[in-house]
Amino acid sequence: MSRPFPRPSALERLGRFTVRRRRWVLTVGVLVTLLSGAFGAGALNALSLSRIDAPGSESDRARIALAEQFDTGYPNLTFLVTANEGTVDDAGVRAAGEELTRAIAAEPGVAEAGSYWSRGHSPALRSEDGTQALVLVRVPGDVNEARERVGELAERYARDGTVIDVRAGGQDEVFREIGAESRQDFLRAEIIVIPLVFVLLMLFYRRVTLALVTLGVGVFSIVGTLAALRGVASVTTVSTFAANIALVMGLALGVDYCMFLIARFREELARGRNVGDAVTIAVRTAGRTVLFSGLTVAISLLSLMLFPLPFLRSFGYGGAFVVLTAVGGALVLLPAALATLGRRAAYRPGREPRHTERGGWYRLANAVMRRPALTGGLMLLLVLVLSAPVTGLRFGMPDARILPADSSSRATADEIRAGFAQEESDALYLVAPTAGRGDVAGYAAALSEVDGITQVDAAEGSFVDGERISAAVDPGRFTADGGTFLVAIPAQQALEGDPVDLVASVRAVGAPFDVLIGGTPAEMVDWRTDMTERMPLVLATILVLTFVILFLMTGSVLLPLKATVLNLLSMGVMFGVLVWVFQDGNLSGLLGFTATGTLESSIPILMFCIVYGLSMDYEVFIVSRIREEYLRTGDSRAAVPLGLQRSAPLITTAAVILAASFAVYATGGVVYLKMIGVGMAVAVLVDALLIRGILLPAFMRLAGGANWWAPPVLRRAHERFGISEAEPDAAPGGRLPVAAGR
């Protein structure tokens, strides 16, 4: 009789190596962790919040033309000046405002500073009640340099005075504070999450050593990812939020993979295997599942690299490193630790899991499969109800309300929003590099009649409602080398919702010359357009590659399709929660944020890629055990409850740990992190408990033997290319039984 495994697989050889060289492996692992921790400790200072821009877009080209031809650009720092008595037109206030403007303009690193007093008393820079005025400042440079200088200027000039009070705000000051707040949230979460995960692992394992080993693999993944991100940040922009994701994802994947391997190791010990064989079998079997899971998660996160946007690409970098370090830690460091612990890692006497046929998940699966249409239909209805709010999803511009209400730049923005009818710091810039003899005045007048535009400034003067209201104070500011630019100032109300219509209306105005339209609203629109255009490619990449991986794992066509549908249902629930809570403002008092009535588009896309990967992670764990039982018995009906009982307790525990880790971010100050924390916690729990626990067995019961069907050409492809290691008591060669299942 031939041996079931005539040739050891790569994973089996890896398992044997870690057993033989366990002390060497653990020593190297500890050294790598310490070195990564030392280098990764500087990652938070190296990361940044990249600007919202779409490279190569019209707004990006407008920004470049402004800088290169006109030596100007968008203001990124705003000072709100409030008169302690009278109005900003009073002599004393005017003198103080003019002095403040001159002092800021003379600061090193400041390219421009203009104010209500230096720009001919522009109505756009004066509050409606006349007690406040704005100073707009441009600090050029790359994002890190500019924001560091902005922070210094804000600290120096924001003050309470006898004549005027000065407060700092503006786009880069807001994002500087978001970066600082997110770093604080990261450190606070690290202090809470790691001990919390340790306690939960202790409750699950009932052994301190296993909890420490599992947590150690998670920490190895975190510090390894942070060290790698710091290296990447030395050559390109990496978002601060990537560090937050590294913390949660590193722990999540480290815990998931370790729990699965440890459970298999303990099963083999309970069957009477010696320690070395138990480690080797665990690496060969559960390790194969870990590899498949890692591939699916990596694909979901690496798909973010397809977006031409530095903010989203940052998470692609982080995702690749998280998966690499988590899989490496689980397949190399953990087996060495288990070989060292030996039977001290086994179940305590009397603590062994219940017999499979008596387990709660086994009974639940059987109950579902007795009436699959009824139970599955009711659960599907519940999931659709939870997803229903997504039909009201509205996208909009991010603003200072991302920050807590007590942050300084948020308070400044709130005052400007309340006191000013128009918003010059978020103006649209219309750049004509070669204006020639075009009718600039006529174009400016037409722009000023666009609904949502309150004033247009140009070399020919300022225009409101189609009429020129004043001559330009400094016409030369708007011209250079035969070109010109105009500034269209929007109403606050026009920016409260979605700026798409406003930007489209401005772009639709006929220009007497070629014009590039930029400014923050246009950049937001182009940013979203780039994401929208790339979404089909990203979705196709994720769906196709995960389908291929699951097919190579299962040899089935239907199971990958089922996994896709179930994952999308989990996504629907997550987006429904985001809309109901963060867009519509439900629970805003409890969670401590201000709803704006819209969602910024990039965060939901990021969350989709992360949660899709985690959902597929759970799918791989469950289906691998179901498939193993099917290979052993050939009975599709019996394999589902058996496989679910062997995997669902682990997945449920892992989901609870992951949800608790994500939920910690709901206590943070930045709304983006609250969204990630709440949305992902809900999605993970719904996916593990409702989707995989009820919809999956209902679907597989209805499908019956078709679960494992593939057309002959694909079956031959799977037999040739699929990774299909059989268990010792499985069908010969690891092929799927011919039986259709019962």
Tell me what the mean pLDDT of segment 428-457 comes to. 92
Q: What is the structure's pLDDT at 456?
A: 94
Tell me the per-residue pLDDT of 105-143, one tens digit each, with 9 for 90 and over.
Answer: 999 999 999 999 998 898 889 999 999 999 999 999 887
Rounded to 5°, angle at Cα 192 from 187 and 196: 145
> Do the beta carbons of residue 81 and residue 132 sit within 8 Å?
yes
Q: What is the structure's pLDDT at 730?
A: 42
Q: What is the structure's pLDDT at 726?
A: 41
Of 25, 629, 550, the residue nearest 300 (C-alpha): 550
Percent over 90 (pLDDT), the chain: 47
The total number of residues written for the chain in this structure: 742
Q: What is the structure's pLDDT at 735?
A: 45
Q: What is the structure's pLDDT at 489?
A: 93
Tell me what the mean pLDDT of segment 143-149 comes to. 85
Q: What is the structure's pLDDT at 661?
A: 86
Tell me the per-residue pLDDT of 678-691, one tens digit each, with 9 for 90 and over.
Answer: 999 999 999 988 99
**Choice among 107-116, 220-229, 409-418, 703-712 with the minimum mean pLDDT:** 703-712
Q: What is the structure's pLDDT at 713?
A: 86
Quick check: 725 pLDDT over 50? no
Q: What is the structure's pLDDT at 125?
A: 92
Q: How far apart are CA 551 and CA 559, in angstroms?
A: 8
Q: How far apart are CA 354 and CA 641, in angstroms?
A: 14
Please give the structure tokens belonging to residue 657: 């740990």
- Give the containing element (helix H, strand E) for 173: helix 171-205
Q: What is the structure's pLDDT at 190?
A: 80
Of 534, 536, 538, the residue nearest 303 (C-alpha): 538
Q: Output the CA–CA distances (angstroms, integers) from residue 720 to 6, 547, 620, 715, in the order listed.
A: 17, 17, 21, 9
Question: Ramachandran region of residue 466, left (φ > 0), alpha (ψ -120 to 50) or beta?
Answer: left
At residue 51 the predicted structure's pLDDT band, cuts being 50, 70 and 90, is low
Q: How far apart are CA 637 and CA 643, in angstroms?
A: 11
Tell me the per-residue pLDDT of 545-561, one tens digit each, with 9 for 90 and over.
Answer: 888 888 888 888 999 99
Quick check: 212 pLDDT over 90? yes
Tell me the per-residue pLDDT of 494-543, one tens digit each, with 9 for 90 and over.
Answer: 887 678 889 999 999 999 999 999 998 998 889 888 888 888 999 899 99
At residue 387 the predicted structure's pLDDT band, cuts being 50, 70 and 90, is very high
- In three-state secondary structure terms, 341 is helix
Q: How far apart are CA 613 and CA 607, in angstroms?
A: 10
The DSSP result for 196-240, as a single string, is HHHHHHHHHHS-HHHHHHHHHHHHHHHHHHHHHHHHHHTTS--BT
Of 579, 610, 607, 606, the residue nearest 595 (C-alpha): 579
Percent over 70 (pLDDT), the chain: 94
Quick check: 729 pLDDT over 60? no
Q: What is the structure's pLDDT at 497?
A: 66
Chain mean pLDDT for the chain: 87
Q: Output the CA–CA distances (angstroms, integers) from residue 328 to 221, 255, 323, in the order listed.
A: 9, 13, 8
| Sign of the CA dihedral with 36 first, then 39, 41, and 44 last | negative
Of 178, 595, 129, the residue nearest 409 (C-alpha): 178
Domains and CATH numbers, the chain: 76-169 (3.30.70)
Quick check: 699 pLDDT over 50? yes
**pTM of the entire structure?**
0.85
Q: How far apart are CA 473 and CA 115, in angstroms?
A: 12
DSSP 395: B
Q: Which residues, 6+ apart, have CB-to-CB distance to 570 below 8 Å?
A: 611, 615, 683, 686, 687, 691
Quick check: 736 pLDDT over 60? no
Q: What is the structure's pLDDT at 511?
A: 92
3-state SS of 571-611 is: HHHHHHHHHHHHHCCCCHHHHCCCCCCCECCHHHHHHHHHH
Q: What is the structure's pLDDT at 3?
A: 44
- In three-state secondary structure terms, 710 is coil
Q: What is the structure's pLDDT at 33?
A: 93
Tell me the per-residue pLDDT of 296-331, one tens digit each, with 9 for 90 and over.
Answer: 888 888 898 888 777 888 888 888 899 999 999 999
Tell me the per-residue pLDDT of 33-46, one tens digit each, with 9 for 90 and over.
Answer: 999 989 988 877 77
Q: What is the structure's pLDDT at 462?
A: 92
Q: Output the CA–CA distances (angstroms, integers) from residue 226 to 43, 255, 325, 327, in the order listed.
A: 6, 18, 11, 16
CA dihedral 489, 491, 495, 496 (to 10 degrees): 160
